[in-house]
Amino acid sequence: MARIHPTRRRSTLALRQRKAALLGQVAVHSDLMRASFVERYGQCGKPNCRCHQGEKHGPFFYLTQCLAVGKMKKFLLKTPEQQQRARQGIAHFNELYDALEELSQINSELLRRGESLVEQNR
């Protein structure tokens, strides 16, 4: 869910300054991933195992991606290094997404005000 930025209460100059700052900060990291990091616990098929008395096996860590309607990609992250790289890639994606969302809201407000979306060289 996108965060709502208070664009209507800011001056056009302040919006343009924030837009310039965002454009200067936006970084596309090569490791970014649009995915979820999932922690799971499970039960095995052995009837006398402790997992059937409440002590489930795990945690197991998975990376999941929704590729299209009904198409999921999921795989087990076996090593702590894989888990850390997955967390970092997801964090990089979320940072980029948040910056793009704020930029989009600023541009929408500038358009509503009848302002140009492209900076004019002065």
Q: Which two tokens stand for residue 80?
A: 């702590």
Place of tokens 């990091």: 37
Domain boundaries, the chain: 12-112
pTM as predicted: 0.81
Model pLDDT, residue 118 = 87
Q: How far apart are CA 28 and CA 120, in angstroms?
A: 25
- The pLDDT tens digits of the residues spanning 101-117 come to 999 999 999 999 999 89
Does pLDDT of 45 surpass 80? yes
Q: Are 2 and 106 in contact (CB under 8 A)?
A: no
- The pLDDT tens digits of the residues spanning 47-81 come to 899 998 889 999 999 999 998 888 889 999 999 99
